[in-house]
Amino acid sequence: MSSALEINNATHPVVEQRYSMIDSGLPEALLHAIHSKPCNRDAGTIIKLEGELSASVFVVLSGWVALNKALPDGEKQILDFMLPGEVIDPGSADPLVSAVEVEAVTEVKLAIIPRESWEQLLHAHASIRTAHERITAAGQARMSERLLRLGKANAQVRIAYALLELCLRLKTGSTSDGEKFHLPFTQQQLGDFTGLSSVHVCRTLRRLKRHGIVETEDHMDVLIRDIEALAGVAQVNVDELRNQIIPNHRINE
C-alpha cells in the first residue's frame, strides 16, 4: 500500500509545497519585515504574559515556542507548541489583550511585527495571506484534535497522539517506521501539554515502549518503531491527520 503510493508518486510526480512564513520564495516585503529586527530569547524566557498588552504578532524563525495558560491556583496547561515558520497572534476578543502566555521552550529567534505592519503585509500580499490562513486553520485543527482527546481519551491515546502530531510537524513529507526526533522539553512539560502528571507520562511511555511501539533515550529523543500501531493507539489515520493539521499543498499532475 505504501509502496504502491510511492510508485504512483514516482510515475505521477506530486508537487508538494509546505506553507510557511519563512519559506524561500516569499515576497521580499515579509523577508524584510522579518529580518529587519530578528530577536533572540533564551530557553525558558517568558516572551509575553497572559493579559499583557499585545500590539505585535510573532513569527518564529527558529526554536520552539510554547503557548501557555494557567489557572489562578497555579496549574499550567501548554495549549500549543509553535515551530519555525508559524505565526503567533496572542490577541483575544480584545486584540490588545493577550489571551495566552508565550514562552521560549528552547533558545529562539523571532520576528516581532507590529500589528499594523502585519495587517498591511497581509493586505498587500495575497500569498502571505493564504499561507497565514492555512497555518491558522492547521493550528485550529490541531487544537480540535487535542481538545477531543483531553475531553474523551485516556493517557495512552493522548501521549500517542502528541508524539504523532509532533512527529508529523517536524518531518515534512511522508512518515514511516523508524522516524527519530528530539523533543526539547521534559516529561513534565509533555504532561502539561497532554493534561497528565509527569509520573503518569512516564508510566504511559513505559507501556508504549514495552509494546515495541516507541523507544526513548537521552532525555526525550524519540524513535517511532511502529507508526501504524502508534496511530492505532492514538486513534487516528496518519494520512488524514497529516492532511488536516499540516499546512501542505499537493498538486497531482
Partner DNA sequence: CGGACGCATTAACCTCGGTTAAATAGGCCG
Partner DNA sequence: CGGCCTATTTAACCGAGGTTAATGCGTCCG
Instruction: Take residue 209 and report the three cell numbers written for it.
Output: 515502549
Member of 146, 208, 224, 233 binding a copy of itself (CB under 8 A): 146
Q: Does 167 bind a copy of itself (CB under 8 A)?
A: no
Written as nine digits, the cell of 221 is 529523543
Contacts 24+ apart (CB under 8 A), 3-11: 5/174
Please report where in the chains the cell 486584540 appears, as a residue.
95
The string of DSSP letters for 173-212 reads S---TT-EEE--S-HHHHHHHHT--HHHHHHHHHHHHHTT
Nearby residues of 70 by Cβ (< 8 Å), 6 or more positions away:
50, 76, 77, 101
The residue within the footprint of DNA, chosen from 205, 214, 241, 245 (CB under 7 A), is 205
Assess 233 for contact with DNA (CB under 7 A): no
Nearest approach in angstroms of CB 239 to DNA is: 26
Residues 79-108 touching a copy of itself, rule: CB under 8 A, are: 79, 89, 91-95, 97, 99-100
The stretch near DNA (CB under 7 A) out of 58-66, 87-95, 97-105, 191-199 is: 191-199
Site string for DNA, 61-90 (x = CB under 7 A): ------------------------------
Interacting residues with DNA between 122 and 181 (CB under 7 A): 154-156
Q: Give 39 or 199: the residue with its C-beta nearer to a copy of itself.
A: 199
Residue 120 interface partner, choices a copy of itself, DNA, none, CB cut-off 5-8 Å depending on type? none
Which of 28, 94, 218, 253: binder of DNA (CB under 7 A)?
A: 218
Reading the block at residue 171, the C-alpha cell is: 518531518
Q: Which is nearer to DNA, 34 or 160 (CB)?
A: 160
Do residues 109 and 39 lie in contact, with contact meaning Cβ atoms separated by under 8 Å?
yes
Of the pair 39, 96, the CB lying nearest a copy of itself is at: 96
Kindly give, in sequence order, each residue whose CB lies less than 8 Å from that of residue 45, ignoring residues fewer than 6 positions away: 103, 104
Instruction: Please name the residue that has the C-alpha cell 495512552.
Output: 156
Return the number of the residue (221 or 239) whose C-beta is nearest a copy of itself. Answer: 239
Strand 214-217: give its sheet, edge to edge. 180-182, 221-224, 214-217
Which stretch, 16-24, 108-116, 182-190, 244-252, contacts DNA (CB under 7 A)? 182-190
- Residue 48 C-beta: closest distance to DNA, Å: 22
Residues 93, 122: Cα–Cα separation, whole Å? 20
The footprint of DNA (CB under 7 A) covers 154-156, 186-188, 195-200, 202-203, 205-206, 216, 218-220
